[in-house]
Structure 1
Amino acid sequence: MKNTLTIAAILAAAFLLTACEPKRGSEAWCKKMDETPKGEWSFNDAGDYTKFCVLNQKPEDQ
């Protein structure tokens, strides 16, 4: 029973943490990246920021 509750708590925490992240390429994601120090960006973050926020390309799944 204790293991089941532990697993349920971990899954719930993971769901809550990932549900708050704005969709990559969205206006909310661009604003979030504007507020994030550039030193904390990954190579993929920088490329996607340029593509979606500077060049205003739409994400492929929209």
Structure 2
Amino acid sequence: MKKTITGITLLLSVALLAACAPEVGSDAWCVAMDKKAKGDWSANEAKDYAKHCVFK
């Protein structure tokens, strides 16, 4: 029972933290992408960065 409660608490914590990510294309997202290493970007992130942050 204790493992179940711990697992549920962990899943809820992760869900809450994931919900705090800035919306793609927002100014906060552009700033976060600027701080992230370019080698860690996915192809979709690079496309979205160019679309929303470079070619506004």
- Going by fraction, where is helix more abundant, 1 or 2? 2
Q: TM-score range by the shorter chain?
A: 0.7 to 0.9
Unaligned runs of 5+ in 2: none
Give the 4+ runs in structure 1 shifted more than 3 A.
none
**Separation in 2, partners of 1:8, 1:37:** 32
Unaligned runs of 5+ in 1: 57-62
- Counterpart of 2:11 in structure 1 is 11
Q: What is the Cα deviation at residue 3 of structure 1?
A: 4.7
Give aligned-pair identity as a percent: 50
TM-score for both structures, normalised by structure 1? 0.75
TM-score for both structures, normalised by structure 2? 0.81
1:24 is paired with a residue whose SS is coil
